[in-house]
Amino acid sequence: MEKLIIAAAICGAEVTKENNPAVPYTVSEIVREAKSAYDAGAAVIHLHVREDDGTPTQSKERFQECVDAILKECPDAIIQPSTGGAVGMSDMERLQSTEITPAPEFATLDCGTCNFGGDEIFVNTDNTIFNFAKTMKERGIKPELECFDKGMVDIAMKAHKKGLLEDPMHFDFVLGVQMTATVRDLVFCVGSIPPGSTWTGTGIGRYEFDMATASIIMGGHVRVGFEDNLFIEKGVPAKSNGQLVEKVVKIAKLLGREIASPHEARKILGIKK
């Protein structure tokens, strides 16, 4: 079985210091959390950025500042900017994260509209998805296809048929939001993607380590981090993103999966640096 790529989603756009005081806002805090995850074994840093007061932003300048600062501490890490941003942001606003220099190697591409709870709707029309895919292709950025249910896999395949996505594709199944997070659901999603594709399993909240363990056993890859879950175990807040990554490394070792370095992760994902 190939080595395990661990991605760390270090801050997201919604969680706050009120939820866990270790959630990073400032550039120095974001670097601290990125380095903690990288040192623990994460090859990929999934990056949202905030203003110093915690307000989510897709500012090109803020992304540039954070990426440059992270790479000084973690020079070979794969930095994966989010193009999701936060609920209510425009498409052009969200795409700012792909405008940094040099262009990112890897970025997220959300593949459908999602109910985030209550009245919050994260809107991604077909045209938005196709435009994001086209823009990333033009900029030489590999998309990670964020799929919150199986229908989003089908939309990704529409983009592939249009020539907007290239093989091998990489999917991230984010379960526990719109689709339940069970092994049955993960198996169904994985069985829906083309042969030769790579994939990551992400469980939200209390499902984080259930989905991580299933993904490790099934030969996929894993995402953890404060964006998805703030606790190292029930009722115990995680002290850092690194602590969450360390737990995945321990599970992987028990199950016989070695951890991929950033160089090895690029090779597995088909990313050329």
| Tens of pLDDT, residues 7-23 | 999 999 999 999 999 99
Residue 88 has a pLDDT of: 83
Q: How many domains does the chain have?
A: 1
The CATH number of the domain holding residue 179 is 3.20.20.70
First to last CA, the chain: 24
Tell me which residue range forms the domain holding 21.
Answer: 6-269
In a domain, 1, yes or no: no
In a domain, 184, yes or no: yes
In a domain, 45, yes or no: yes
Give Cβ neighbours of residue 124 (< 8 Å, ≥ 6 apart).
110, 111, 112, 113, 114
| Tens of pLDDT, residues 15-60 | 999 999 999 999 999 999 999 999 999 999 999 999 999 999 999 9
The number of C-alpha atoms within 13 Å of 222 and in the hemisphere containing its C-beta is: 35
CB-CB contact of 245 with 209 (8 Å): no
Q: How many CB atoms lie within 10 A of CB 234?
A: 6
In a domain, 78, yes or no: yes
In a domain, 44, yes or no: yes
Measured in degrees and rounded to the nearest 5, phi and psi for residue 198 equal -105, 160
Q: What is the DSSP letter of 162?
A: T
Q: Is the pLDDT of residue 273 over 70?
A: no
Measured in degrees and rounded to the nearest 5, phi and psi for residue 231 equal -120, 140
Predicted TM-score (pTM) above 0.75: yes
Residue 117 confidence class, pLDDT cut points 50, 70, 90: confident
